[in-house]
Amino acid sequence: MKSMKRASPRTSTIRRARRCSVSPADDRTRSPLQEYDLLSCTIRFFMAAIFGIFIDIVIACLAGVVVLMGYRPGFGWLLPVLAAVPLVWGALGIFFFNDMLDLAGEIVERFFLFWR
């Protein structure tokens, strides 16, 4: 009978590493702790807060339309809302940034499909 030669543990580890090599798509996924470093959280906060400023512009335009229609509402609510919206969007953007990007992409896609 022929004697079977077993592979050394080091060789099998190298083979396993070749089979499980990291593809470029997997390179983008990071561990959850690396996603919440200070720089990443700061960038997410400011990018989401910029979107909150856009929402502020829409709210201010709606308040202007209400005034142009002849209504005289009190504007005591407007300044706190305009200050709070970017802060809330920024805080949500830290933890739900990818979901917010997906939602914004769907809104833009449907908007342009509507105007075709």
Question: pLDDT (tens digit, 9 = 90+) per residue, 39-89?
Answer: 888 999 999 999 899 999 999 999 999 999 998 888 888 999 999 999 999
Q: Please report the pLDDT score of residue 63 as a whole number.
A: 92
Cβ 40 vs Cβ 74: under 8 Å: no
Q: For residue 37, is pLDDT > 90? A: no
Residues ≥6 apart with Cβ < 8 Å to 60:
78, 82
pLDDT band at 1 (very low <50, low <70, confident <90, very high): low
**Max Cα distance, the chain (Å):** 101
> Using one digit for the tens of pLDDT, what is the confidence trace for 13-34?
555 555 555 555 555 565 565 6
